[in-house]
Chains A and B, each alone.
Chain A
Amino acid sequence: MRKLLRTVFAVSKVFNVIAAIALTLMIAITVIDVFLRTIGHAVVGAYEVIGMICAPFVVGLAIPLSSWNKKHVAMDIVVSRLSSASRNTFYIVTRIVCILLFLLMGYNLLSVGSGFRTSGEVTQMLHIPFWWVTYCVAIACFVECIVFVCDIIRLSLEEK
């Protein structure tokens, strides 16, 4: 169990590193684009590289580690007043709801990506295919499901 937790945490961290690189790249492209634009040579396709490629990586791949570190905003003033057993029950039920939700999201993102792939959709200016970006975000959704499973495992380990 602990090995699974370590592995999932490591994978989430790797995803987060990719998201961090994408964010840094986003800043670099923006600065270069604005600078070159002032001298009349804007970077062609900067807008679409930032929007269609960097942005999904920044947000999508940061999801698993954000969940692992409990960064998402939640309302705990009600559950914090419940007994430990009730709180844990609610926690497990909500994790299951989240697993189902992200399974559906991941599955549908794969469908969206397949749609882009079969229709040969590319970015307007640079003609870069972006179906693979959708696949990456879908994979992040599946990793997120495993993070929720790990949440339940962590809870049971804490109880022991």
Chain B
Amino acid sequence: MNEVAIGITGIVVLLLLFATGIELGFAMAAVGFVGFSYLVSFNSAINLLGRDMWDVFSSYGFTVFPLFILMGQIGFNSGIAVRLYDSAHKFIGHVPGGLAIATVMGAAGFKAICGSGAATSATFASVAIPEMERYGYDKRLSTGVVASVGTLGTIIPPTVFLIVFGIITEQSIGKLFLAGIIPGLIVAFFFVLIIYTWAKIRPDLAPRSEKATWKERRATIPEVFWVGCIFMVVVGGIMMGFFTPSEAGGIGTFALIALSVAKRDLTFKRYVTSLNEGLGTACMLLMLIAGSTILGHFITRTNIPQLAADWIVGLPLNRYVIMLLICLVYELGGSIIDDLAFMVLATPIFYPAVLKLGFDPIWFGMVVAITVMIGIVIPPVAICVFVVQNITKVPIGTIYKGVCPFLLALVLVGILLFLFPSIALWLPSVAIK
């Protein structure tokens, strides 16, 4: 067998291994180890195993993950989301579909401090859905919007997804963060537009709530202000070169802890809960990266990424059609295994081809992010839908029906990104020279 055949066999074995229910990171490490042993030698492979593990675990660059994940967990456990939702509710609760719109705005704000889509959906499933039910909102709308707002976690900075993408492709995390702002806001705007139109056409689906007084509204502004400040410090600090992404994670976490403690929202018990949850997620993510690093050494040895790039570039198709096909692979792959895991697995293979086709790496990051956003709300692996179903016990079919209109928004933003790449590239180009 030649090296390419061994590589392809390795990938097939890996997919079969995934189907056995083994942890994805461990499966990647195991296949990478066995493949490398076969191609090089057992001793080299065993050295690779320990060395790659150590390199990933002791990398300063990877400390960005536990820090940003902890920041999100503290935001989740300290009840900041509730008050952001409350603020949006006070301002726009009385317009058609107001509570659902408040959910989008609250989630977009919460996203400025929490990098997890599932955590965003979980928070708003507990906060916004009971409120919408109280006012007689249709379950399709209430659960659909909450599942959909979780997708914003993939693109609005600071996002773990873009950090992983940035590290794999060696792109500036600051640029990726900035590139995600405008597409993320456009997605949120489209969500709002869909809710408003839906509620205008069918007012019975989203009855109006009572109008808050200006005094009540003003009282909620400080919360939004402080969250805005933390966001500006984190993203602005990276953008201006004041600190590295890892330092930004540390500063953001500290600022959030200080804010939560000052507001008496964060007890020691909640901090410990945040630490435990954060460590679990960070460990999962870094094991995934360690596994993909070991697998990557094996795959690189087979020369598959280079050959795949040459083959893809040589296809007699327009480069945008090729990019659409790449997106389709991400969509299908992400539907079978976890989206983030698939991104970790597939990006090193497709990335050289994307560069050869002449696409901007930052733009590619945004396209993959939008693709993944679609993936996390469509079957079979729709993590945000599962979270909402788990909390609300609403039938999964009802939630999927509610998600459908919002999918339209994601597809539309994807199309806009293809037509106008500057949607993603303009902000990094003016902010980072």
Contact = CB atoms under 8 A, between A and B. Distances in A.
**A24, A65, A74, A87: residue with the most chain B Cβ atoms closer than 10 Å:** A74
Given A27-B250, A79-B21, A101-B33, 11 more contacts: A26-B63, A30-B249, A34-B243, A34-B250, A52-B58, A77-B380, A91-B21, A93-B20, A104-B33, A109-B54, A134-B54
B62 A105 contact: no
B284 A73 contact: yes
A52 B59 CA distance: 7
A20 B272 contact: yes
Interface string B41-65: 0000011011101101111101100
Interface string A40-79: 0000000110111011101110110111010111111111
Secondary structure call for the B interface: helix
Contacts of B282: 58-59, 62
A63 B29 contact: no
Nearest to A71: B280
B307 to A, nearest CB: 27
B322 interface: no
B280 A98 contact: no
Contacts of B54: 56, 109, 112, 134, 137
Interface of A: 16, 19-20, 23-24, 26-27, 29-31, 33-34, 47-48, 50-52, 54-56, 58-60, 62-63, 65-67, 69, 71-79, 87, 90-91, 93-94, 97-98, 101, 104-105, 107-109, 111-112, 130, 133-134, 137
B19 A78 contact: yes
Nearest to A109: B50
A95 to B, nearest CB: 9
Contact of B281 (A47, A56, A71, A94): A71
B50 A16 contact: no
Given A55-B63, A94-B22, A97-B22, A60 B49 contact: no
B283 A66 contact: yes
B23 A98 contact: yes
A74 B53 contact: no
A18 B136 CA distance: 48
B70 interface: yes
B84 to A, nearest CB: 23
Contact of B19 (A56, A59, A79): A79
B63 A73 contact: no
B20 to A, nearest CB: 5
A108 B48 CA distance: 9
Contact of B46 (A23, A71, A91, A104): A104
Contacts of A24: 275
B168 interface: no
Contacts of A52: 58
B385 to A, nearest CB: 14
**A19, A30, A54, A94: residue with the most chain B Cβ atoms closer than 10 Å:** A30
A55 B60 contact: yes
Given A54-B63, A59-B282, A75 B24 contact: yes
Given A52-B58, A55-B60, A75 B337 contact: yes
B20 A19 contact: no
Interface string B342-362: 000000000000000000000
6 contacts: A27-B257, A31-B254, A58-B66, A62-B280, A73-B341, A75-B336
Contacts of A91: 21
Contact of B250 (A26, A107, A133): A26
B57 A108 contact: no
A55 B58 contact: yes
A79 B20 contact: yes
A33 B247 CA distance: 9
A34 B283 contact: no
B338 interface: yes
Contacts of A19: 279
**B25, B33, B57: residue with the most chain A Cβ atoms closer than 10 Å:** B57
A20 B277 CA distance: 10
